[in-house]
Amino acid sequence: METRYAEATPEEIHAAVFAAGHAPALSAPQRADLLDAIADEIEAIGDDLTEIAGQETALPAGRLNGERGRTTSQLRLFATSLRDGFAQDEIVDVALPERQPAPRPEIRRRLVPIGPVAVFGASNFPLAFSVAGGDTASALAAGCPVVVKAHPLHPGTSELVAQAIYRAMDRTGTDPRWFSLLHGSVEVGTKLVEQPGLKAVAFTGSHRAGRALFDLANRRSQPIPVFAEMGSVNPLFVLPGALGERGETLAAGYAESLLMGVGQFCTNPGVVIGIDSPEFSAFQADVAARLDAAPIGTMLSSGISANFNAVADQIAEKVTGMTHRTEPQSPSLFATSAREFIDHAELREECFGPAAIAVTAADADELMAVVAALDGQLTGTIHLADADSAIASPLAVALGRKVGRLVFNGFPTGVEVGHAMQHGGPYPATTDSRFTSVGTQAIFRFLRPLAIQNAPAGLDLSL
């Protein structure tokens, strides 16, 4: 590993957070200009970015180029939103000096930056959820300086993007204390979260790592929020009417969604549930055949591959139904009953990779029992036809209580970056279901309310 990727020392970690805590405030127009400049500089890197990211992650050029487009688009989306006044409104209670029995002062309530934010790069999105990804974009848009902990699986990619940010800061005259990049292992992340000047953490990754950061932040003498997106099984329900109308189409779409990115998406639909019928049996057989015909993809790292194989092997040992698994790392489909799925919590845990469990319910009541057994999820999907309305309505209500995004007649992979997107969900999908990590609403993770009472005219209150 090159010297420039050396593990950050405790002194460097402290210096980065200290500097962020003393960065001067930027106005909304200045933040917008910075975000646009970062997008420009990332695009200016050209093919070098795709080449290095491909070498480090084994992701194909088409996927990486698309991800770069998503990264620059979301930076520009925040810039445009800031220029439109997004998240900058005040709520005003006008003064009522003559009110009886007591006068009312003028009170203005606004949102202000929470302070320096630590962003942890994700393994599966080296651009869109990494150094200049959605967490960094939304934190900068909120007016919060950022310290990024680069993911060790793509340090060269992280360094290239960080240099683009530094060039954008220089171009726009932004104080250099607004951004820092740190390389290193788990210990670097631990020391970063422990820094007294840090005010929030953004993380995308495994439940184990996300929960460890959450617990660490809450053990501080001054606890801070951790906005951790930790994945889920993203249950997908195929109802009888939909299977009868378009079973083959559903099998093709489901297999495609399951295999997207070698199954390494947090919205991967890892559990498919249907009611016992010849049509649902045919659906499972069709999906299994499509997985069998699919090539074995290269996963992001040997560690992720090993973990996938271990979890898949554990599932194979637990289920008593069909096991379609030809060899390690191969796309896999397991089958089980609703009762077995409900009774064994291990079957409801994420298997990060191209594997799924098909769950067969005896009837609509057992279908609802499956929903009741689920923990919080990022997404839940229902495929239905007109004939399914009696089942679909209570199912949608119950499932909506468990997920952050409810999808009808579609597939959860392919998250739209926009104003209405909710990429989050009840625990354990995330540590705070009130917020999203995708789209413009992500900015509200890094803003806090401040009420200002009877402020004198002309006072500079830039925070």
Q: What is the reported pLDDT for 22?
A: 98
Residue 33 pLDDT > 80? yes
Residue-wise pLDDT tens digits, 164-220:
999 999 999 999 999 999 999 999 999 999 999 999 999 999 999 999 999 999 999
pLDDT tens-digit map of 276-289: 999 999 999 999 99
- How far apart CA 293 and CA 291 sit, in angstroms, is 5
Question: How far is it, in rounded angstroms, from Cα 10 to Cα 152?
Answer: 18
Q: What is the chain's mean pLDDT, rounded?
A: 95
Distance CA 403, CA 426 (A): 6
What pLDDT is attached to residue 323? 73
Predicted local confidence at residue 36, as pLDDT: 98
Active site residue 279: no
pLDDT of residue 1 exceeding 60, the answer is: no
DSSP 446: G
Residue 158 has pLDDT above 60, yes or no: yes
Residue 369: partners with Cβ closer than 8 Å, 6 or more residues away: 338, 342, 361
Model pLDDT, residue 4: 56
* pLDDT computed for residue 328 by the predictor: 79
Which of 56, 67, 159, 229 does the annotation list as catalytic?
229
State the pLDDT confidence band at 319, using cuts at 50, 70 and 90: confident
Residue with more model confidence, 43 or 320: 43
**Per-residue pLDDT averaged across 231-257, rounded?**
97
Q: Phi, psi (5° rounding) for residue 179? A: -150, 140
**417-424 long-range Cβ contacts below 8 angstroms, 24+ apart:** 417/70, 417/73, 417/74, 417/77, 417/134, 418/77, 419/81, 423/229, 423/378, 424/229, 424/378
Alpha carbon 254 to chain centroid distance? Answer: 21
266 is catalytic: yes
Whole-model pTM? 0.95
Report the alpha-carbon distance of residue 2 to residue 6 in Å, rounded: 7
The single residue of 41, 67, 266, 351 carrying the catalytic annotation is 266
460, 101 in Cβ contact below 8 A? no
Q: What is the mean pLDDT of residues 355-375?
A: 97
Structure confidence at residue 107 (pLDDT):
97
Number of neighbours of residue 227 by Cβ within 10 angstroms: 27
Quick one: tokens of 91?
A: 């709520």
Q: In which region does residue 375 sit, left (phi positive, over 0), alpha (psi from -120 to 50) or beta (all else)?
A: beta
Rounded mean pLDDT of 61-86?
97
Q: DSSP per residue over 220-232, as a string?
A: SSS---EEEE---
Q: Which residue has the higher pLDDT, 105 or 328?
A: 105
pLDDT confidence of 318, banded at 50, 70, 90?
A: confident
Q: Which of 134-138, 144-148, 314-318 has the lowest mean pLDDT?
A: 314-318
Answer for the pair 123, 352: CB distance below 8 angstroms, yes or no.
Answer: no
pLDDT tops 80 at residue 437: yes
Answer whether residue 3 shows pLDDT above 50: no
pLDDT at residue 374 tops 80: yes
